[in-house]
Structure 1
Amino acid sequence: MQQENPMIPNKSGNCIRRSSLCAAFSRASLPLMGNCFQPRSKIDASRPISEDCLFPISGKVIPVIFGISVVPMIVLYAITAPSRSSHSYAHSSTAHGYSDNGKPRVLPNPRSEVEILSSPHLKAFTLNELRNVTRNFCPDSLLGEGGFGDVYKGWIDEKTLGASRPGSGMPVAVKKLKIEGFQGHKEWLSEVYYLGQLHHPNLVKLHGFCLDGDNRLLVYEYMSNGSLENHLFRRGGKSLSWETRIKVAVGAARGLTLLHDSEQQVIYRDFKAANILLDSEFNAKLSDFGFAKAGPTGDCTHVSTQVLGTQGYAAPEYIATGWLTAKCDVYSFGVVLLELLSGRRVVDKTRAGVERNLLDWARPFLGDRRKLFRIMDTKLEGQYPQKAAYIAAILALQCISEAKIRPQMSEVLATLERIQMSRTTGGRSRGGRSHNAETHNNQHSTERRSVSSQIGDRTVNSPLGSPRGSYMKSG
């Protein structure tokens, strides 16, 4: 097992910090780019989880799925079983080449910071160059601000990457970290390392960086539609259609699948709506690799590490033990998929009771096609295919289940791609207004029998228990 000064859970399940860890990681990172493209807006990010806090493991904060019926699991296995990862890189995915076994190659871990900053794929900007790019960090160029620092829009020449006049050349987003901010040097370096070697249509492109004394800056491609968080939760955000939501889910799943299926696995560790950026065509790209970490190698089943992430998105077994696997990202993806379906934040302090926590509130409805309409985003106005929504809900349910029965991201991607390619038009909201109850029940029963006959020995025969009782030790 690989060790990195893990957080130690006490008998009550709370994470106990070590003084040495607090000294090494005194700054916890807030979302880096999640909201950086809304004009002059303050970033209201979800509270990050860090090794510097005691994080209680309770049903109110980290929801656990109990008593999930067997049938929804049967449905999911049936729709994911035919394909695993053979399709995962049919969409121009690259990681600077492939290994002999067909997996995308990731460069070996660098031996020094000098090696990271010597990436041939990135430009080392000077501070003066970035002053010119952003018109001396002019307030009019400010895209967003937060605990990590400020993000400015700038313009560079597409070939030379030198500064160009506003409105000409290629737009970029320049993130200027606050010296006293939440983004530390280690997280900054992690972004340079991973985005300097990984190129993929569903990962935000990093053009370069600047390290000048205490100044640390990053230069990204400009994402004109901002973050998924803004569109789902912010007032004035554009309402996303069903088709766009599935497109975003597919794009984000492709990005995670690349990371997980690479020759050297990468665990993203901070997957959330704020870190999914959207270009002009609403193609999704993962941003903010400050918390990313190399996955286990050899016979190791997990990596023990500091508990980092964002409240509501982190897998319960990771918070309780500090054991990090790719299944932790799958859990986070399930949370975001529920946010896409419902239009609600995973933790919403403006709501009362059970509705305060999305997973607690949505859980009773996810496996029941007739009740699913109750959690669907009202902004959709019922304009979504019932069958596709039901499959997506079952998929989300599987992702947030106990770690050992969560699907791989390649399986999640396969299911979402089938939903995207499906021409199902079915009934609309409220379980299908175009069908009477008897017809609907017969159809639902037939679907269940059909699915059951397809999966054979892949049927899940045991209900889920608490992750406190059993933790998944494999990625």
Structure 2
Amino acid sequence: MLAILGVPVAVMVLFVVSIVYWLVMKKKRGKRQSTDSYESSACRVPSLEDSTSRRNHDGTGRDSNLPVFDLKNIIAATNNFSVANLLGKGGFGSVYKGLLKNGMEIAVKKLSKNSRQGIEQFKNEVVLIAKLHHRNLVRILGCCAQGEEKMLIYEYLPNNSLDSYIFDETKRSWLDWGKRIEIIYGIARGILYLHQDSRLRIIHRDLKASNVLLDIALNPKISDFGMARIFSGDQIEANTNCVVGTLGYMSPKYAIQGLFSIKFDVFSFGVLLLEIITSKRNTNYNHNGPSSNLIGHIWDQWKEGKAMEIVDPLLGETYPANEVLRCIQIGLLCVQDHATNRPAMSAVVFMLSSDTPLPSPKQPAFIFKSTCNTKGQTTIEGANSINEITITKIDGR
């Protein structure tokens, strides 16, 4: 009898042991399961306060999820963040090129451990860019947040940033007018997507040549959303107590009063457009004339009917003069002093793609001149104003 009962008992015990073993192994596999690029989990970072309330930017009440890369894989991919793989460096950290075991190239944005503001920007990028998908925006692949290490992993773009081309004596000759107008149009479409066509209404707030990356075909992709802000559908303007950005690309109203709107990006786009045409930086433009910056000089040339004289001479005579002159006029429309006079990005994209008559631009908002005081603060003075403002947090890159 005992022998008869022992058989089913043994079978039952064996079955229970098998189930337990299967569950334990499944749990272990779940922990280890990942590709060479990332773990199958989510990067949960608390969302930042938007301009109206402390809630998640997607309105769902949930944190944004991104694939998580394992730190040991990132260390291996970047050869322990070697100097040879360094792509760029800024106030909030460094960017490294990496190669995963599966052959995929990546760009790793490694946050500086000593940057408190950088942590906020890291959270902001995680919350925002994971929800954005457009051919003219850089694509984020995931993130890594282990201990004090915080990183964002992006697609690798082999041609670096736009500023490394248009401000380089040799490389800028590689950009003929056809390629330059493609870059201008691509940037405009990317900003239009942020302002109007994405699920979120986003103001970038740091559009500049170094934040536009170029892919293998020199197509532009807007990057770096650490300073971006969400606007609700009916919101027109917002205010900030912490003025951040890059001198030469920020509108004076924002620098003085902290007020910004979608026209902030329009102003920055206008500066960038004029820089692409002239291959001159607005931030450190030196000219012997009465104007102390690029925009002022272009405005003077425009009034005198000599606007074509500011075109990059390396373009030679291979460009259509009417098209270039039209782009200069669009750039001046974007940098007008009063934000209400600046066109929306939808109008800018239309003007770039059509031959319709353009309005005459009004006087631009002249960019500030900067000096550094004994306290290490940056003081900026308006060219046509007695107002002064001290900014201690200007450019994080």
Query: TM-score under structure 1 normalisation?
Result: 0.60
Structure 1 position 126 matched with structure 2 position 76? no
| TM-aligned CA deviation for residue 142 of structure 1 | 2.2
CA contact (8 A) 2:111 2:151 kept: yes
1:207 partnered with 2:141: yes
What is the match of residue 259 of structure 1?
A: 194
Deviation of 1:367 (Å): 5.5
> d(CA) in 1 for partners of 2:74 and 2:262?
36
Q: 1:374 aligns with which of 288, 305, 309?
A: 309
Matches within 5 A, 1:209-228: 209-228=143-162
Is 2:332 aligned against 1:397?
Answer: yes
In 2 relative to 1, CA 175–110 (structure 1 residues): closer, same or farther, beyond 3 Å?
Answer: farther
1:282 matched to 2:218: yes
Aligned partners of 1:205, 1:181: CA distance in 2, in Å?
24
Match 1:387 to one of 319, 322, 325? 322
Q: TM-score, normalised by structure 2?
A: 0.71
1:8-157 mapped onto 2 (5 Å cutoff): 108-109=58-59, 111=61, 115-116=63-64, 119=65, 122-156=66-100
Structure of higher RCO (CA pairs closer than 8 Å, 6+ residues apart): 1
1:344 aligns with 2:280: yes
Relative to structure 1, the CA distance from residue 466 to residue 408 in structure 2 (aligned partners, 3 Å threshold; closer, same or farther) is closer
CA contact (8 A) 2:266 2:345 kept: yes
Counterpart code for 1:365: Q
Selected match of 1:170 from 100, 104, 121: 104
Helix, strand or coil at the partner of 2:354: helix
Q: Give me the whole-angstrom Cα distance separating, in 2, the residues matched to 1:183 and 1:170.
A: 31
**Structure-2 separation of matches of 1:466 and 1:355:** 12
Which has the larger strand fraction? 2
Equivalent AA in structure 1 for residue 113 of structure 2: I
Query: Structure 2: how far apart are the matches of 1:252 and 1:154?
Result: 26
Q: Is the 8 A contact 1:296 1:325 kept in 2?
A: no
Q: 2 CA distance for matches of 1:250 and 1:391?
A: 13
Structure 2 unaligned blocks of 5 or more: 1-55, 367-383, 386-397
Do structure 1's residue 179 and structure 2's residue 101 form an aligned pair?
no
User: 2 CA distance for matches of 1:182 and 1:384?
Assistant: 47
| More displaced stretch, 341-350 vs 392-401 | 341-350
Please, which runs of 5 or more residues in structure 1 have no aligned partner? 1-105, 157-162, 420-449, 470-475
Separation in 2 of the partners of 1:358 and 1:296?
34
Counterpart residue number, 2:251: 315
Q: Which residue of 2 aligns with 1:11?
A: none
SS in 2 for 1:207: strand
- 1:139 Cα deviation (Å)? 2.8
Task: From the superposition, tell whether residues 211 and 375 of structure 1 become closer, same or farther in structure 2 (CA, over 3 Å).
Answer: same
Contact 1:348 1:356 in 2 (8 A): no
2:185 aligns with 250
CA contact (8 A) 1:225 1:280 kept: yes
User: Would you say how many aligned residue pairs link Structure 1 and Structure 2?
Assistant: 309
Give the secondary structure class of the aligned counterpart of 2:135: coil
Matched residue SS, 1:418: coil
Runs of 4+ with >4 A deviation = 109-112, 349-356, 462-469
How far apart, in 1, do the equivalents of 2:91 and 2:322 lie? Answer: 42
Decide whether aligned partners of structure 1 residues 174 and 465 sit closer, same or farther in structure 2, where only a CA change above 3 A counts.
closer
The whole-number CA distance in structure 2 between the counterparts of 1:109 and 1:312 is 34
Q: Percent identity?
A: 36
Counterpart contact for 2:110–2:150, Cα < 8 Å? yes
SS of the residue 2:109 aligns to: strand
What is the SS of the residue equivalent to 2:353?
A: helix
**CA spacing shift, 1:366–1:109, aligned 2, 3 Å:** farther
> Against the structure 1 CA distance between its residues 354 and 276, is the aligned structure 2 distance closer, same or farther, given a 3 Å change threshold?
farther
> How big is the shift at 1:194?
1.3
Deviation at 1:320, TM superposition (A): 2.2
1:328, 1:380 → 2: CA distance?
Answer: 30
Residues 320-357 of structure 1 show CA distances to partners (whole Å, capped at 9, x for unaligned) of 22111001100110000110111100121665564641
**Residues in 1 aligned to 2:265 and 2:350: alpha-carbon distance in whole angstroms:** 16
After superposition, the C-alpha distances for 1:291-345 in whole angstroms (9 at most, x for unaligned) are 00012443x4311113221001001222222111001100110000110111100
Distance 1:346-1:293 versus aligned 2 partners, 3 A rule = same
User: Aligned AA for 1:415?
Assistant: M
Q: Is residue 270 of structure 1 aligned with residue 206 of structure 2?
A: yes
SS of 1:347 mapped into structure 2: coil
Say what the alpha-carbon RMSD is for the aligned residues.
2.7
For residues 332 and 139 of structure 1, the distance between their equivalents in structure 2, rounded to whole angstroms, comes to: 32
Give, as a single letter, the amino acid of the residue that structure 1 aligns with 2:255. Answer: I
8 Å Cα contact 2:307-2:325 kept in structure 1? yes
* Residue 331 (str. 1) matches residue 267 (str. 2): yes
Aligned partner of residue 151 in structure 2, secondary structure? strand
8 Å contact kept, 2:333–2:362: no
- CA-to-aligned-CA distance 1:5-64 (integer Å, 9 cap, x gap): xxxxxxxxxxxxxxxxxxxxxxxxxxxxxxxxxxxxxxxxxxxxxxxxxxxxxxxxxxxx
Aligned position for 2:347: 411
Give the C-alpha shift of residue 264 in structure 1.
3.2
Report the Cα distance in structure 1 between the residues aligned to 2:244 and 2:308, rounded to whole angstroms: 34
Partners of 2:364 and 2:316 lie apart in 1 by: 36
